[in-house]
Amino acid sequence: MVCQREYPELESVPCASFEDVFAAVEGAPGMEPIADLAMIPIDNSLAGRVADIHHFLPTSGLHIVAEHFLRIRFHLMALPGVSLEQIRTVHSHVHALGQCRRIIREHGLVPVISGDTAGAAREIAEAGDPTMAAISPPMAAEIYGLDVLAEDVEDEDHNTTRFVVLSRDFVRAPAGNGPVVTSFVFNVRNLPAALYKALGGFATNGVNMTKLESYMVGGKFTATQFLAEVDGHPDEPGLKRALEELAFFTTDILLLGVYPASPDRTVGEL
């Protein structure tokens, strides 16, 4: 849906997994890339960060060149003629199930994890079991010939997913041409107050940090990598000084992208 909305002139190439999406653009061993750009979900306003993406990004060799937001709508759907009272299990992606806990709890349904939301609808259509339902986007009911039992079943009406677009080329947004987001990863030195000192430069230089997430790397409890996003361009004096100060307290810094901020960044304005 986001690909069609934002890049209608491009052909969408479906992939079975996030790993396959990265491989399609960067190329797998012995294989040439088959796509120019990748569109992946990275955050959801209800479920938080999308698993695995943060591990792929630093080592992929790809760069963030754009971001897009999509208001997520989910419908509960089942085989034609089936009533809500017949349903016993509900199938969907783990994040979708987490975003629709209310209807699952109210009807005593057993959640079953599927690979993705649209795929869950396909599973229901192929299984032919009247006790199975799917939580999927509205378009999936049309594609797979299912009946919608309940519309907009997500727990909150601000349910929004943020997608980033990845490219092999590092295309930096120009400075002074509207709001810009800078994304980067870094490892702090294993010293007391290292993170505190590393982030101090952003505060003293008036740089707004919109994301800071940590995750373990290499299976070591003492090796923590951070993904950060800030408002601003690295060529702007404040952010330039903050990144220079960050370098004093980190083992490495990897710039993932410098890209235009989406006008839909504020969820309340969607």
- Dihedrals phi, psi of 62, to nearest 5 degrees: -100, 160
- Structure tokens, 37: 């750009």
Q: Which of 161, 184, 226, 250 is catalytic?
A: 161
Active site residue 131: no
Q: Which of 163, 184, 186, 202 is catalytic?
A: 163
Q: Which of 103, 98, 93, 116 is nearest to 48 (CA)?
A: 98
The phi-psi region of residue 247 (left if phi > 0; otherwise alpha if psi is between -120 and 50; otherwise beta) is alpha
Instruction: Report the alpha-carbon distance of residue 77 to residue 253 in Å, rounded.
Output: 46
Residue 38 contacts residue 165 (beta carbons within 8 Å) = yes
- Structure tokens, 244: 């220079």
Active site residue 170: no
Q: Which of 32, 35, 51 is nearest to 43 (CA)?
A: 51
User: What positions carry a catalytic annotation?
Assistant: 161, 163
